[in-house]
A and B are shown apart, each in its own frame.
Chain A
Amino acid sequence: MAEYTWPAAGDRLHIGKHISRLDGPVKATGRAKYAYDVNRRGMLWAIMVQCPHAHARITSIDASAAEAMDGVVKVHVIQDVGTEIQWAHDEIVAVAATSEEVARDGAAAVKIEYEVLSHFVNERAVDEAPDAQPAQAETTGDPAAAMASAPTKSSGSYHVAQIAHCSLESHGQVAEWQDEENVTLWASTQAISGVASQLGEQIGIPASNVHVETQYMGGGFGSKFSVDRWGVVCAQIARDTGRPVKLMLDRDQEVTVAGARPSTHAEVSTAADADGNVVAWDSKSWGSGGPAGANSPPLPYVFAFDNQTHAHTSVPTNTGPARAWRAPRHPQACLVTMRALEDLAHAAGMDPLDFFLKNIDKTGERAGTYTEELEKGAELMGWRDRWRPRGSATGTVRSGLGLALHTWGGRGHRSNCEVLAYRDGLVEARIGSQDLGTGTRTIIALVLAETFGLGLEQVKVTMGRSVLPASGASGGSTTVGGVSGSTRRAALNAVDAVFERIAPRLGTEMANLELRNGQLHFKDGSMAAMPWRQAAALIGVNPVSATGANPGPGQLNDSGVGGIQMADVSVDMDTGVVSINRMVAVQDCGLILDMKLAESQVYGSLIMGVTYALTEERVFDPHTGQMLNADMEFYKLAGIEDVGEMIVHMMTGPGYDERGVIGLGEPPVIAPGAAIANAATNATGVPINEMPMTPERVLAAINGGMA
């Protein structure tokens, strides 16, 4: 019986090294085929007609002109006459045609009439919201009394705009029926197994007859867990026409209907005692992510105070609905909390680094980690030498430092893996997981190779198909823990199964064998070590097969990380333009399997964080309720020139490694905005309380008004 542990530090062949992602070359050369790239013989293109109104009722649909067009094969009504539409760009009709161009022309020829109803899209004006839903305050201790008697107080309003996921590969899929009972879906999804179940249910065939295929996908960030209405429509049109159908969202649809991160607006009061200990927190927040409003961000964030109260109001709006956005609710909570605490530190006359350290015990069980990380970050940023009190900088372009803390869970999800060892020496992992571009394929290969003591070129990963052993959706930083757990267990079981198979053929006992550095070793020295390929030849024509699951026996993964980030920014006081000089990210995530992939996750997060901090925002027209910047021209993503220098430090070694693997997808994307806002505040000397920190908003703060 195998012992389900990770190898000790001295025994690691691949784990913890800088290993490049295995699919880098096929992606860089364009050989990797994404769902968008799949083209099937006889395939139709489907284009969806969207509602131009933010709130309306469909009164008529006339598709006759579209149906009469050459090349239009099918007009599919998604939402029929009488339906009340709650957001602009909602899908009403899909037109499938023999080419993309004809499908677009057909969609343009569909005449839909609406009874236009009143809409509400700008939730910042919560007093004007027709349907605001306040919730009861959650209170600990006596914040009012603590506030009243505290010598140091601070208050402020903090605002985080609604943003989109804006995945580079838009949502969508190609559907093709093999016969009346079986359909294949090449989908851009974070959840192949889940999508198979959802589609089967919605079109009335067994989930096992839905084959979902996702070898490569171009970003989801939490917006691609569902088969979605367009997935069902695509499969239905394919069934109705007997032809494969491609239906991918356009860019405008991608940012209007395929995901949003809710806004957060908050008014916060805080208080500290004479030593700088935070003694009271009082916050009221509101926000929206569409017709369902928005759940409360976790306030206060990371810290828990003896006396605290928080109340949240959910504000429904007529805008495309929210989806989980990388670390749902955390980036907003982080901005509100870290900005408010930075303001309190300023009121207390303290360096925020000292102030956060002073209060670090209020973070709970991660206090020791945060302390180590803050010291490391301070060293990398040169904080102790360079930090100056708020507003000390002079001149037109002023620089400043800011910091923020974050936390996340990241326990491995349910995952199953089968490992096969063949007599030609190849070892294969089969796993129904998907690689979103984070390096999951590489992680699985690495764990498999590590366990067999082989090189990465000697193992194969078969994944991205729903017919493979089921694995969870890739969300919430749960994938790396899940797939590494199931693969490690399956691989350890497979090694045992190989030994069981070949030991009699070698005239020895299973327990006498071990695999190390590409060779089969005999512990008793009775025979010389033999190359793995020679040993594998003894397996015979039937490969050895073993399975493993997560969760399972042994401590291979854990949950709960803390990270800190520091920003060094410059602000042009005359233009309000914020420039990132340097970001420092210090992060723990337990045992790091591939240092390069881990660092890449943090780099990517910092870039995404700079983007939402400085430029990203969904803008809605008050007249029509339409999103005005449903493009990548005015829905602004940061470019490489905007991101500045990035310094990433991963916490490893004793105290971290033995926890096992913990997910990293969300944690590092939480704090950049808060750290940047604190740095901009430190630089300018005035509170910079709104994201994105556009020149407009920063100038308004500098000029003493609110944007």
Chain B
Amino acid sequence: MRAFEYSSPRSTEDAIRMLSAEGAVALAGGTDLLSLMKDGAAAPSRLVNLKAIPDLTGAHETDGGLHIGATTRLGPLGEHRVIRESFPAVAQAIAGVRSRQVLSMRTVGGDLLQRPRCWYFRAGFGLVPMHDGQSMAKTGDNRYHAIFGNAGDAVFVNPSSLAPPLIALGASATVLGPDGERTVAVEDLYRTPASSDESEFTLGAAEIVTGVTIPMRSSSNATYEIRNRKGFDWPLAAASVAASDGGARVVLGHAAPTPWMSAAAAGALAGGISEASAEAAGDAAVADAAALSGNGYKIQLARVAVKRAALAAM
């Protein structure tokens, strides 16, 4: 393992300054970063611990909605009154993590920005692994890979538990960097890289997510995951639905290189959630899905996840 510096700033300003060095990486709960380092898939020269910055942790209600600091741990967040009462989609996504250990350490920011679990990526072949000029995952074993947004060579899936419900709920992320603070929709944190040299995130150099804000709009919302194991296991499909008088949002997880928003499914729920519209939303969600050589079953699972998320939200 590459030797690295460790720093633990008390302010976001210090954190941004420390992150401006070449090879510096932000450390939150460490549930992803430390395993990447052990696997040799990440070799930072400096770790900047964000957990000692008081401003970054905890959730509180503001005029704009529920603000959640980036280093708030998932476990406590799942117990938060507003989350339980108003945003069950978030609580259900957190419950889906299943591991006490992970829930105790993983942070909101870390969950949103964790790297894909693609087994080619983790084995060191890169995020967009190529083999003889072809996508290695497309021509290899892609049973856990993308069914949307997979026309190019990148076919990993975004693994975030929180991104689908937060996007469905219209949450925004606060991003802080050397050039100051900006606010973006959570879905705009993500992009599909064209090659392994590119990032799957839109953050600039030394930028960090300091928190997310969920607008206090009343909605029916829910998340539904399908996993092989009942315990700690990555979902094979996940969907979050939020429906209100102003319309619906439907977001799929573990389905594409980014959290996947389905306008068609949302449209099917525009007139309200019913058994029939939930079914239609599931069908609409996967109408433009495209199977790779070994993941056709995931289309069925995505359809069911959308339908069941909608029914759970009803």
Contacts and interface: CB of A to CB of B under 8 A. Distances in A.
Interface of A: 101, 104-105, 108, 574-577, 579, 614-615, 619-624, 626, 628-629, 631, 633-634, 636, 638-642, 694-696, 699-700, 703
A642 B230 contact: yes
B143 interface: yes
B31 to A, nearest CB: 12
B301 A642 contact: no
A615 B228 contact: yes
Contact of A621 (B122, B140, B229, B300): B140
A620 B141 CA distance: 8
B231 interface: yes
A212 to B, nearest CB: 31
13 contacts: A575-B300, A575-B301, A579-B230, A614-B228, A615-B228, A622-B139, A628-B140, A636-B228, A636-B229, A640-B231, A642-B230, A700-B297, A703-B300
B139 A695 contact: no
A623 B297 contact: no
Contact of B119 (A576, A628, A695): A628
A306 B141 CA distance: 44
B141 A628 contact: yes
Nearest to A630: B123
Contacts of B141: 619-622, 628
A695 B228 contact: yes
A108 B233 CA distance: 30
Interface in B235-249: 236
Contacts of B1: 101, 104-105
B60 interface: no
B136 A634 contact: no
A652 B68 CA distance: 60
A222 to B, nearest CB: 24
B119 A629 contact: yes
Given A108-B40, A622-B140, A699-B300, A636 B226 contact: no
A576 B131 contact: no
Interface in B198-221: none
Contacts of A641: 98, 229-231
Nearest to A641: B230
Kindly name the residue among A105, A694, A696, A700 whose own CB sees the greatest number of chain B CB atoms within 10 A.
A696
Interface in B122-160: 122-123, 131, 136, 139-141, 143-144
B124 to A, nearest CB: 9
Contact of A633 (B117, B120, B143, B226): B117
A640 B297 CA distance: 26
A124 to B, nearest CB: 13
Interface residues of B, number: 29
Contacts of A575: 226, 300-301, 304
A108 to B, nearest CB: 7
B278 to A, nearest CB: 12
A706 to B, nearest CB: 12
B230 A623 contact: no
Given A615-B228, A628-B123, A634-B119, A695 B140 contact: no
A638 B233 CA distance: 10
B232 interface: yes
A101 B37 CA distance: 12
Contacts of B143: 619, 696
A575 B230 CA distance: 13
Contacts of A577: 226-228
Contacts of A639: 98, 229-232
A671 B240 CA distance: 39
A567 to B, nearest CB: 16
A462 to B, nearest CB: 38
A629 B116 CA distance: 15
A108 B297 CA distance: 39
B98 to A, nearest CB: 8
Contacts of A631: 122
Contacts of B119: 619, 628-629, 634
Contacts of B297: 576, 695-696, 699-700
Contacts of A614: 228-229
Nearest to A694: B228
A695 B301 contact: yes
Contacts of A640: 231
B126 to A, nearest CB: 13
A101 B38 CA distance: 10
A642 B229 CA distance: 6
A626 B120 CA distance: 10
A481 to B, nearest CB: 36
A623 B231 contact: no
Contacts of A633: 117, 234
Nearest to A580: B230
Contacts of A703: 300
A104 B231 CA distance: 32
Contact of B231 (A574, A579, A622, A642): A642
Contacts of A699: 297, 300-301
Contact of B140 (A108, A574, A623, A694): A623
A619 B117 CA distance: 15
A636 B233 contact: yes
Contacts of A629: 119
A108 B117 CA distance: 23
Contacts of B300: 574-575, 699, 703
Given A575-B301, A619-B141, 9 more contacts: A575-B300, A577-B228, A614-B228, A619-B143, A628-B120, A628-B140, A631-B122, A634-B144, A695-B236
A575 B123 CA distance: 29
A577 B227 CA distance: 8
Closest 5 A-B residue pairs measured CB to CB? A639-B231, A641-B230, A696-B297, A628-B119, A574-B304
A226 B233 CA distance: 34
Contacts of B139: 622-623
Interface string B288-314: 000000000100110010000000000
B298 to A, nearest CB: 8
Nearest to B124: A52
Contacts of A628: 119-120, 123, 140-141
Kindly name the residue among B226, B233, B297 whose own CB sees the greatest number of chain A CB atoms within 10 A.
B297
A393 B289 CA distance: 31
A615 B229 contact: yes
Contacts of B40: 108
Kindly name the residue among B117, B139, B233 whose own CB sees the greatest number of chain A CB atoms within 10 A.
B233
Nearest to B301: A575
A639 B233 CA distance: 10
Interface string B1-14: 10000000000000
A638 B229 contact: yes
Given A628-B119, A696-B143, A623 B228 contact: no
Contacts of B231: 638-642
Kindly name the residue among A575, A577, A631 whose own CB sees the greatest number of chain B CB atoms within 10 A.
A575
A86 to B, nearest CB: 20
Contacts of A620: 141
Contacts of B226: 575, 577, 695
Contacts of B131: 623-624
Contacts of A700: 297
Contacts of A574: 300, 304
Nearest to A697: B297
Contacts of A634: 117, 119, 144
A620 to B, nearest CB: 8
A623 B304 contact: no
A575 B226 CA distance: 7
A623 B140 CA distance: 7
Contacts of B136: 623
A226 to B, nearest CB: 28
A505 B122 CA distance: 75
B114 to A, nearest CB: 13
A98 to B, nearest CB: 15
B123 A626 contact: yes
Contacts of B234: 633
B254 to A, nearest CB: 13
